[in-house]
């Protein structure tokens, strides 16, 4: 496969985001809440006079606790002309995928089954390959 990946940690798991989808990695200090949104949408922040919607990755996966708006790292991505800051536990490095994605094994939970394109081998070991649009869409909501 040999595609470049942003290696990171999301919800305590080793994850990878295709580098071609990442505009930058930033530190977020201030998030302005948006009333009436889902809990995985932390709010808005600014980057070079552009508004970014801040997504809490753990909550978007259906796991974790609500975001804390102080000193967090995020991968900035563009989905259909809308900018998002995807909060990550840690952003490590850029590396290469050493394999094609394979199915996500059981035990990672429903959120990762939905929001991962698969698992890839990297120099640092296996990583979940994040499907950014699926992550941004948030957890599957239970039918009313």
Residues sharing a CB contact under 8 Å with residue 42, sequence separation 6 or more, in sequence order? 31, 33, 54, 55, 56, 66, 67, 69, 87
Give the tens place of pLDDT for each residue, 29-75.
889 999 999 999 999 999 988 999 999 999 999 987 766 646 689 99
Quick check: 26 pLDDT over 50?
A: yes
Report the pLDDT value the prediction gives residue 70, as an integer from 0 to 100: 60
The answer to whether 86 touches 78, Cβ cutoff 8 Å, is: no
Report the pLDDT value the prediction gives residue 106, as an integer from 0 to 100: 82
The answer to whether 44 touches 51, Cβ cutoff 8 Å, is: yes
Quick check: 2 pLDDT over 80?
A: no
Distances from the Cα of 97 to the Cα of 14, 31, 86, 93, 117, angstroms: 13, 33, 21, 13, 13
The arithmetic mean of pLDDT across residues 121-132, rounded, is 95
* pTM for the whole structure: 0.89
């Amino acid at each position: 496969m040999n595609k470049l990946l942003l290696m990171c940690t999301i919800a305590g798991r080793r994850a990878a985001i295709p580098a071609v989808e990442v505009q930058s990695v930033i530190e977020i200090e201030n998030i302005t809440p948006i009333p009436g949104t889902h809990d995985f949408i932390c709010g808005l922040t600014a980057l070079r006079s552009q508004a970014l919607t801040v997504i809490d990755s753990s909550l978007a996966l259906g796991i974790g606790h609500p975001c804390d708006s102080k000193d967090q790292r995020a991968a900035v991505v563009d989905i259909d002309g809308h900018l998002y800051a995807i909060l990550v536990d840690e952003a490590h490095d850029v590396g290469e995928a050493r394999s094609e994605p394979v199915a996500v094994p059981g035990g990672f939970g429903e959120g990762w089954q939905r929001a991962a394109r698969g698992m890839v081998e990297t120099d640092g070991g296996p990583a979940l390959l994040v499907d950014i649009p699926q992550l941004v869409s948030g957890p599957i909501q239970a039918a009313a």
